[in-house]
Chains A and B, each alone.
Chain A
Amino acid sequence: MKNEITLQTRREFLRTTVLGSSLSWTVPAFLANTLTALHSEAADSATQIVTGSDATILVVLQMAGGNDGLNTVVPYANDFYHRARPHLGLSGDKLIKLNDELALNPALSGFKSLHDAGQLAVVQGVGYPNPSRSHFRSTEIWQTASASDRSEPYGWLGRYFDNACAGSDPTAGIAIGGQLPQAFFAKHPRGICLNNPQNYRFLSKGAGTEESYRKLNDLEMAGLAAEDDNSGGSIGSLAAGMPMQGGAAVDFISRTAMDAQMSSDKIRDIAAKVQTQATYPGSQLGTSLKLVAKLIGGGLPTRVYYVSQGGYDTHTNQVGAQARLLKDLGDATQAFVQDMKAQGNLPRVLVMTFSEFGRRVSENASGGTDHGAAAPLFIVGNRVKAGLLGKHPSLAPQDLHQGDLKYNLDFRNVYAGVLENWLKTKSLPILGKAFEPLPVV
């Protein structure tokens, strides 16, 4: 592929295509890629991704800390369950029954309506071989989709961006939070993260400062389109012997600066203008999903959003703590689905939850549960293959591995399903290995 773009073309492109058009804010950092793509391949993929107004959207929802799967999707008719959990075991009328054996935790009332509407898939017994009970390591495994004895530098979503979104908008992925999740780590990062649209900007008090910031970070001023040098510094190129500004690193940062400026303007604009049409819980998760809803409603070309909810590490006094979290999860997700429906975007959106591990089958002495292995995850959307997917792991003591449930389905089969069937991309280059895609939609 030819990466060289002449100054003429670049300037022309900026003037004719970018300014005033709907693409304007998306262009600079990947200018080279996009231009090349448009020139050479006339760009099925590039056009589709950049416009993106009808592309599918994945919302990944992390339940951090290791959610107790057995008290989320409850095998209420199972004797082994009640024997292992004399105090924590759930039973009774309040359970949200899925069938004669399984029920949702009563706190998941938000999921009940989704279930009734055929918008909820419960994927059972998800895990991976040789599970790690370390939060850190197991989270890393889920985030990078690596085998448990290997370490991968890039995240599975990052590899999706690298493989399927090259040359696309810098907002191909948006994580709501203070730090980019490891799942977004990529060779060529296409993800941004923000926790507050009001801080995702150049903040200044003094008059004229912001205007000067824009000038100082202007693509042409910063040297990208400058005629006077294109080779980086050189010794002795100035009388004082000072190196010139503008090597490859500055070039990269200048492009990112332009992306930052434009996406910041756009996101704040959307956050201020777009109204949500549902009532979200005031929790962090509720606030995050509300922002995601606004960004989707505002027409960002983002393919993947990432939100997280913490607190599932319930070693002690689990009942109340988990109920509060699940209530929040169900209510926030339900509100989000309502909002998407009101926007008319529900057919484009799929929500997938995950947690780094489930918890030990037997309760501990502190009214809680310790780190375990396999657990269910949820997929929500109106095109989802609703109901129970996969098989519930056996709770019979002889079937457990060191007191933990054995997985029936590798999480990478779920990822493969989401990538192939929802994001419509080949999973092999992203997961590094062939995994049978779980039909999720």
Chain B
Amino acid sequence: MLKPLPVRDWNYAMAAHLLNRAGFGGPPREIEALADRGPESAVNFVVDYESIPDPTPNPAWAKPDPDRLKKIREVNQRGTPEEKKQLQREENQLQRDRLMELRGWWLQRMAVGPRPFQEKMVLFWHGHFATSAEKVRNAYYLWRQNELFRRLATENWQHLLLEAGKDPAMLVWLDQAQSSRQHPNENFAREVMELFALGEGHYTERDVTEAARALTGWTLDRAREKFVYRPQIHDAGPKTFLGRTGNWSGEDVIEQIIAQPQSARFITGKLWNYFAGQPPSQELNTGLAAVFRASGGNFKPLLRTMFRSEEFYQASVLRNQVKSPVQWLVGSVRALECPLPTPLISCGMIRQLGQDLFAPPNVKGWDGGTSWITTNTLLARYNDAESLVQGTLPPMGPGDLGGKTKAAGGGGKKGVRKLQRVRMGGVEVGKILTPEERANQSLLVVSLERRLFQSPLKGDQKRALLDFLASRTHLNDDDILAAIRLLMSTPQYQVT
């Protein structure tokens, strides 16, 4: 159980597996560099990312803005209906623009940033805490939450859960900001147990009610745009929570949840599923939870054990995970060494494929796995591949750019018009293939297999591709781009 993968089994394909799952993949030279390190050093290189500087600047607006809030307050108190309406329009537009910028900023970090594993963890926490702009409607809060996930990406479970509970976006998202002694709101109290830390069946309805009482007082200071504890709305009376009675506070609730052995199993199982692409067996999860508890709920020892384990590299795990739309887009850009399309186009693509960043479908986040694949998302992947490779616009209409509401950062018709003015980079054949590979069909296919799949194609598929190449009289760059697109338009390219 959880024995390290023997060094002799470590090779290019295993290194690629690590880079794909604990990140967003990369071009062959990155895979080779990881393969050359050997498994121990490779895993440490991935997990101990702090030693690599990340100089990405924050968006210019990513700070509290008291002047703007003051102006909004003033207009709302004294303005005419016309002024209020005007301000609301401006505010909506501002949030829309910032949200789009935020999405682009994050995707860029995943695609070219120096710490892909950290970003992959941020994506995990975003799906786990599943906070949506549809309700939060404040780009600054969402950026803050994103940064919180980055700061505590691989730190400590109790610390993260506490900070996530006090995070402004979460306070809005699950209504804790509205909770008070007189009217305790149970939304966060329920979800922190059901969705974040324990799972259904590991608490009672009474625990929910009592936790909601204990959590009162945690609220949002809207003027300062941050968490505040207000003792005057806290219910200080005794509560019985998870079998213990006391004058519990919100902090006590988090502490007692984490003290449940189930809180370790719940998160280790979910992390394994995220990285290995399938839920762990009972036995495996017991092993993972033991490692996790032994470290006091710190994530790094757990993650290191996972990525070193034989189980992580077993046959049923390799190349058997459906790429999420983000993995598909960012992974393609990294593997093909082409630029990430503009935020509007990138976001339009992944939204169309079913993963709108900062707008998960519901409090449970994205289902993942085979639920990413429907007939239309599959066709869209195949067609988006053409856009990425050729640098042309993806086929989409206004609905593909717009969210469910405008507040979610949708582009609408205006977005499409804006989009029609831009062009993307596309793949440069000379950058990813040697002159020999460009001149020889067999070498070309082997090189592309190695870059796109890190494993060989089925015999029939390889023949189909060679037939396609053979039908070209002179193998020019356009033909090669078409071949790359064809390889991306296969079931096999949709998994990693």
Do A and B truly interact?
yes
Complex alpha-carbon distance, A257 and B377, angstroms: 10
Complex alpha-carbon distance, A151 and B376, angstroms: 26
Q: Which of these, B14, B81, B404, contacts A365 with CB under 8 Å?
A: B81
Q: Which of these, A136, A203, A259, contacts B375 with CB under 8 Å?
A: A259
Question: Nearest chain B CB to A353's CB is how many angstroms away?
Answer: 18
What count of chain B residues pass the 8 Å CB interface test?
76
User: Chain A 279-319, CB within 8 Å of chain B: the 1/0 string?
Assistant: 00000000000000000000000000000000000001000
Main secondary structure of the interface of A (DSSP, over half): loop
Complex alpha-carbon distance, A369 and B467, angstroms: 64
User: Is B378 part of the binding interface, using a Cβ–Cβ cutoff of 8 Å?
Assistant: yes
Q: Evaluate whether A238 and B374 lie within 8 angstroms (CB atoms) in the complex, with A136-B134, A206-B478, A250-B491 already known.
A: no
User: Is B400 part of the binding interface, using a Cβ–Cβ cutoff of 8 Å?
Assistant: yes
Question: Nearest chain A CB to B358's CB is how many angstroms away?
Answer: 13
User: Is A221 part of the binding interface, using a Cβ–Cβ cutoff of 8 Å?
Assistant: yes
Interface hub of A134, A140, A249, A256 (most chain B Cβ within 10 A)? A249
Q: Which of B53-61, B264-272, B453-461 contacts A (4 or more CB under 8 A)?
A: B453-461
Complex alpha-carbon distance, A182 and B376, angstroms: 15
Q: Report whether B395 and A202 are in contact in the complex, using a CB–CB cutoff of 8 Å.
A: no
Question: Nearest chain B CB to A209's CB is how many angstroms away?
Answer: 5
Q: Which of B116-124, B228-236, B319-327 contacts A (4 or more CB under 8 A)?
A: B319-327
Closest Cβ neighbor of A170 among chain B residues = B375
Q: Report whether B379 and A242 are in contact in the complex, using a CB–CB cutoff of 8 Å.
A: no
Q: Report whether A250 and B376 are in contact in the complex, using a CB–CB cutoff of 8 Å.
A: no
Closest Cβ neighbor of B457 among chain A residues = A245
Q: Which of these, B81, B364, B453, B494, contacts A151 with CB under 8 Å?
A: B364
Interface size class of A (residues with CB under 8 A): 35 or more
Closest Cβ neighbor of B5 among chain A residues = A235
Q: Report whether A247 and B486 are in contact in the complex, using a CB–CB cutoff of 8 Å.
A: no
User: Is B241 part of the binding interface, using a Cβ–Cβ cutoff of 8 Å?
Assistant: no
User: Is B51 part of the binding interface, using a Cβ–Cβ cutoff of 8 Å?
Assistant: no
| CB-defined contacts of B374 to chain A, threshold 8 Å | 180, 189, 191-193, 256
Q: Report whether A179 and B352 are in contact in the complex, using a CB–CB cutoff of 8 Å.
A: yes
Q: Report whether A240 and B13 are in contact in the complex, using a CB–CB cutoff of 8 Å.
A: yes
| CB-defined contacts of A217 to chain B, threshold 8 Å | 489-491
User: Is B41 part of the binding interface, using a Cβ–Cβ cutoff of 8 Å?
Assistant: no
User: Is B70 part of the binding interface, using a Cβ–Cβ cutoff of 8 Å?
Assistant: no
Q: Report whether A256 and B489 are in contact in the complex, using a CB–CB cutoff of 8 Å.
A: no
Q: Evaluate whether A250 and B492 lie within 8 angstroms (CB atoms) in the complex, with A153-B364, A209-B482, A245-B457 already known.
A: yes
Q: Evaluate whether A216 and B495 lie within 8 angstroms (CB atoms) in the complex, with A153-B367, A256-B375 already known.
A: no
User: Is A212 part of the binding interface, using a Cβ–Cβ cutoff of 8 Å?
Assistant: yes
User: Is A387 part of the binding interface, using a Cβ–Cβ cutoff of 8 Å?
Assistant: no
Q: Evaluate whether A213 and B492 lie within 8 angstroms (CB atoms) in the complex, with A235-B314, A365-B81 already known.
A: no
9 tightest CB-CB pairs across the interface, nearest first? Answer: A178-B399, A247-B320, A234-B315, A253-B491, A260-B375, A215-B464, A221-B460, A243-B318, A212-B468
Show 13 A/B contacts (Cβ-Cβ < 8 Å), sorted by A: A170-B375, A180-B374, A202-B383, A213-B382, A231-B315, A243-B17, A245-B455, A253-B494, A253-B495, A254-B491, A256-B373, A260-B375, A260-B379
